[in-house]
Amino acid sequence: MNTAIILAAGNATRFKNKTPKQFKEFEGKPLIDYSVNTFSKNININEIIIVVHQNYFNLIKKRYKDLIVVEGGKSRQESSYIGLKNCSEKTKNVLIHDAARPFVSDRIIIDSLNELKDNVAVCPALPCTDTVAMSENKLNISKILKRKVLFKLQTPQSFNYKLLFNCHKKNNKQVTDDISIMKNFGYKCKLIKGSNRNLKVTYDKDFKLLKMLK
């Protein structure tokens, strides 16, 4: 059984808008609709769990009556764990996706599930095309990183459900995504080809980019 968890509990502090980005309308419907519809139409996905901020729980519960809607936590990490705890006991694979990435494709979902046949963690990614520098004080460059070994990670991040759940239960470190938790426990994570269309909306201006990608 394949379960998709769509994380929509963030308050989008960087977005600087009264309405969190995942609920702001884009071409007539809230941004979250796009990823929810893609996962809903994919025949390989058996269950969808939406983890949402408590202020939007009733709204989202009413909008997606056939899906599982739960209240999220104070952090992405906590919300992801809550989503995992609400998965069916039959879940074998879990795909965790950010609602702020509206244009996730069937190809990425299918590729992720195919790779899970031989891997315990899979993540779409794009090679980094810019030169990236490290700066410990945000003023001076301390190190130039090798561009050819750097990748920009996307979602959905996909996992063997039981392994990820167990890692979450044992984890005592603050992380920004689920791949990091698996890596912290020594598991290898397979990279697959991401997509430029799988853009994450972070700032209000990113909606202009979405119109170009539509």
Give the number of other CB atoms < 10 A from CB of residue 123.
Answer: 24
Query: CA dist 4 to 25, 59, 184, 207, Å?
Result: 22, 20, 23, 24
Residue owning tokens 């700032």: 203
**Nearest Cα residue to 122 out of 146, 145, 92, 156:** 156
Domain ranges, ordered by start, for the chain = 2-213
Q: What is the tens place of the pLDDT at every residue in 34-77?
A: 999 999 999 999 999 999 999 999 999 999 999 999 999 999 99
Domain 2-213 architecture: Alpha-Beta Complex (3.90)
Would the pTM of this model clear 0.85, i.e. be above it? yes
Q: What is the tens place of the pLDDT at every residue in 49-58?
A: 999 999 999 9
Q: What is the tens place of the pLDDT at every residue in 113-122?
A: 999 999 999 9
pLDDT band at 12 (very low <50, low <70, confident <90, very high): low
Residues 6+ apart with CB under 8 A from 31: 21, 22, 23, 24, 25, 99, 100, 102, 201
Q: Average pLDDT of 137-146?
A: 83
Displacement of CA 77 from its chain's centroid (Å): 11
Cα separation of 183 and 189, whole Å?
7
